[in-house]
Amino acid sequence: MLRRPAPFRAGAGSPESIREIDLGLQGGVIQSRNDGRMSFFRRLSRRSPAQRSGPRGKADARLYAIGDIHGCLDLLDSLLRQIEEDAASRPPKSTYIVFLGDLIDRGPASAGVVERLLGYRPSGATPVFLAGNHEEIFTRILDGESAILADWLKFGGAECVESYGLDPAALKRMEPDAAVEQLKAKVPKAHLEFIESFADTFRFGDYLFVHAGIRPGIDLNEQDQFDLRWIREPFLSFDDEHGLVVVHGHTIVPEVEERSNRIGVDTGAYRTGVLTALAVEDEARWYLSTAGSPAPAWAGDASLPREPR
């Protein structure tokens, strides 16, 4: 089973080296905006305008946060075009495009997604890449942890190795160490170095961006890297405030889940054909997505297994 590694590797894989990008904290008032293209999104707790007091983004900056891509290159290209068009239609500001992790696995084009984003240099915007649990497993395997290869192939790794030109069935028949060597030979060094460079958290005003979530009751500076990449409960059902609004992916929701203390934006791109981005500017939030586009032929298989919690 895909379990927590013990111990973590020194450097990129240890709790002591959780990589964080901090743009400072801002206070303010929130106004949630829906432009009509995303009518299926709903607030889970609606408040009157007089009651809307809460988070805002960093002053004089704009941010777009993209949910779990999972090897869906065509959806990624479509959403990036929307983001770039949306940003161009607004007054110029410092702009960040945050990728919430799980770029790879499950969908058909993991290698293509990594190659696309490795060289992504959007005009007037800074890309920020966060590590998900699927990136963690991928790098652990390439680092020689062959014992988890078979489980990874069941939970999205098969599609990933196919995108690198390997036959997952053939890998399953090989000795694990030999299979890992085959994978290492196919994954470009630049891809691995790029993935290993991903951060774990990103702060933007009153928002904290992370792949999976945080552990309630633990100071934000003391969070364990495993929780940031893997947690579901008790994070998902926790109702009290965290000090920041946590924006996350990792757990698939049928529509954006917007609560007072967290926002979940993983709309299951590899299953549904819907890849979603949250936008934040000052007190405003809005959403962009690939909803309304024809679902790719490979999407919609709800029977695909889900990694253990």
pLDDT tens for 258-267 read 999 999 999 9
Lookup: tokens for 77: 């290209």
pLDDT over 70 (residue 307) = no
First-to-last alpha carbon distance for the chain, in angstroms, is: 10
pLDDT over 90 (residue 145) = yes
pLDDT higher for 35 or 128? 128
Greatest pairwise CA separation for the chain in angstroms: 64
Q: Say how far apart CA 203 and CA 299 lie, in whole Å.
A: 32
pLDDT at 54: 76
What does the pLDDT look like over 27-78, one tens digit per residue?
Answer: 322 222 233 333 323 333 333 333 345 799 999 999 999 999 999 999 999 9
Beta bridge partners of 287: 278
DSSP summary character for residue 204: E
Strands (DSSP E) along the chain, which ranges?
Answer: 20-22, 31-32, 42-43, 61-66, 94-99, 125-129, 201-204, 207-210, 245-248, 257-258, 262-264, 276-281, 284-289
Neighbouring C-alpha atoms within 13 Å toward the C-beta of 119: 4
By residue count, the chain amounts to: 309
Strands (DSSP E) along 91-237, which ranges?
Answer: 94-99, 125-129, 201-204, 207-210
pLDDT over 90 (residue 286) = yes
How many angstroms separate the Cα of 272 from the Cα of each of 112, 138, 180, 260, 267? 19, 24, 31, 26, 7
Please enumerate in sequence order all residues whose Cβ is within 8 A of that of 181, keeping only pairs 6 or more positions apart, or say none.
Answer: none
pLDDT over 70 (residue 142) = yes
How many angstroms separate the Cα of 46 from the Cα of each of 32, 258, 259? 10, 10, 10
Please enumerate in sequence order all residues whose Cβ is within 8 A of that of 289, keeping only pairs 6 or more positions apart, or say none.
Answer: 37, 38, 79, 82, 267, 274, 275, 276, 277
Helices 133-142 & 176-186 angle (0-180, nearest 10): 110
What does the pLDDT look like over 154-183, one tens digit per residue?
Answer: 999 999 999 999 999 999 999 999 999 999
The SS3 of residue 157 is helix
Lookup: tokens for 64: 């777009």
Residue 292: pLDDT band with limits 50, 70, 90: confident
Task: Report all structural domains of the chain as residue ranges with CATH numbers, in order of start.
Answer: 15-289 (3.60.21.10)
79, containing H or E segment: helix 73-88
The mean per-residue pLDDT over the stretch 128-149 comes to: 98
